Amino acid sequence: MAILSFVGFTLLVAIIAYFATKKTNESSSDGYFLGGRSLTAGVVAGSLLLTNLSTEQIVGLNGQAYSEGILVMAWETLAAIAMVITAIYLLPRYLKGGLTTVPQFLETRYDKGTKTIASGLFLLGYVVIFLPIVLYSGSLAISTMFNIPEMLGVSLNTSIWICVWGIGIIGSIYAIFGGLKAVAVSDTVNAVGLLIGGLMIPVFGLMMIGDGSMTEGITTLMREAPEKFKSMGDSSSSVPFSTIFTGLMLVQMFYWGTNQAIIQRALAAKNLKEGQKGLLLAAFIKILGPLIVVLPGIIAFYIFGPDLETPDQAYPLLVNKVLPTALIGFFAAVLFGAILSSFNSALNSSVTLFSIDFYKEYINKDASEITVIKNGKYFGIVLAIAAMLIAPFIANAPNGLFGYLQEVNGCYSIPILTIIAVGYATKRVPALAAKVGIASGVLLYIVYLLLKYFVVGEDNMPHYLHVMAILFVINILIMLIIGKVAPRETDFELEYTQKVSIEPYKFLVPVGITICVIVIGIYMYFA
């Protein structure tokens, strides 16, 4: 029964995506990479949420909540504020410039070399860090939920290989042959399923704890594990409260405002109004995120106790424990969709970056759009195979996969955020400053990681989120000094390309303020 519901829902998503994209002209760059710039607010919001919400987050963040409690909700709630800032400040500028990739702005603002370096950093981050981790964590979850080793009579390692290649091949078909719109439509359908399925886990879990009563379950949970309901982490936690005002907010701004795999959904909006409404809708739903990616971890702590072999087991074990057998297949299908979403979104963005910023720029400048897209697809196939080969070997990754992912991402996230922020905020800072800013940001952060893990020791170094904030300020100062000593000859002016209407959503500011007030209110309640 579980297998049937899994296959049924997965096929339903594929059929909907196929018919929704039949009429999209994917022989042009806008058609293939941006879905013809036709996405409406609902599709933008659904795709943003599903691209973000995958197993490295559902499994990894619930694993952290199992260990530390509700304080890890900062990764979810602060995202809502970052989306509001993106909607108000960054998206109007992106759509005014008619961007397909974020690094395109860097070429306009600085020069071609800066764009190439940034695109290379994005690609390196996706290939070496993000794609393999998504495949591995997803395969571990599916393998655990369906007990594939026992079902097929194979070892856990073999079952991981089977799942990695299954997820990778299906995700590649969506991302490489369907283009962005196929990815976005399938994301939206899966987003509905994930919200329903994701909310079922804490509901059934609380009912189990409260002998059929959710209210009694919450009361029991808060009475028996009060230490898990404190929103402000101390200096020994993975998210000290002070980091909210330093690096944590910067990580959120990079992720929601400049990360190609995420912002590409908003770039594909049919106009600024739809893009802003999509971001605000996603922000509202994101506030509910802790119910899906934090609360189940605390419930798992109450049910299973503190002695699980690894915290990342908490969520898959809870799903098997509390869900009726018939619903496990449906939820696994939804989780499968979330895994696919993160995988194929990063893959689609990698193909976009390679095609626009490398193939068209350096390999074949005279290539037609059809040729660019065709060669981008070939690159995507190679990239997907590489990620599938690497993924099973992440079995030895540190516990707390989510925190590990965030820390390693700092190598490229803060340098890129720095040069984009300075690029929009100033008019005379030159390309040299951007290159120096990227180099100093990457090298100094790598030095910090080497000192922390191989020389000084973790206990003797500041938290990585604080270090990110320090490096952000240092890089900005370096860029401004270079801008003062050797400025551009002319002021930078952002031209309106008129690709889409940039009339803003009229309720943008009041809705944005409301979202921020709700987030602050949640923190005050659990303080």
Q: Which of 257, 307, 326, 289 is nearest to 317 (CA)?
A: 307
Question: In this structure, what is the dihedral angle of CA atoms 39, 43, 49, 51, given to the nearest 10 degrees?
Answer: -60
pLDDT of residue 10: 60
The answer on pLDDT for 269 being more than 90 is no
Architecture of domain 2-526: Up-down Bundle (1.20)
As a whole number, the mean pLDDT across the chain is 83
- Taking only the tens place, the pLDDT of each residue in 472-511 is 999 999 999 999 999 999 999 888 888 888 899 999 999 9
pLDDT of residue 134: 82
The alpha carbons of the chain give a radius of gyration, in whole angstroms, of: 22
Helix ranges, 323-368 (H): 325-354
| Average pLDDT of span 141-168 | 84
- Taking only the tens place, the pLDDT of each residue in 118-140 is 888 888 888 877 888 888 888 87
The answer on pLDDT for 157 being more than 50 is yes
pLDDT of residue 100: 75
C-alpha 66/C-alpha 302 separation (Å) is: 9
- Taking only the tens place, the pLDDT of each residue in 13-48 is 566 655 655 555 444 444 444 445 667 888 888 778
Which of residues 325 and 299 earns the better pLDDT score? 299
Which of residues 174 and 397 earns the better pLDDT score? 174
- Strands of 277-416, DSSP E: none
| Average pLDDT of span 503-521 | 94
Non-local CB neighbours of 166 within 8 Å, separated by 6+ positions: none
- Out of 71-75, 230-234, 424-428, 480-484, which region has the weakest mean confidence (pLDDT)? 230-234
Q: Which of 235, 261, 237, 245 is nearest to 468 (CA)?
A: 245
C-alpha 239/C-alpha 463 separation (Å) is: 9
C-alpha 219/C-alpha 83 separation (Å) is: 33
- Out of 36-40, 151-155, 157-161, 279-283, which region has the weakest mean confidence (pLDDT)? 36-40
- Taking only the tens place, the pLDDT of each residue in 86-108 is 999 999 999 998 887 788 889 88
C-alpha 300/C-alpha 66 separation (Å) is: 7
Q: 427 to each of 110, 259, 438, 494, how far by Cα in Å?
A: 10, 23, 18, 10
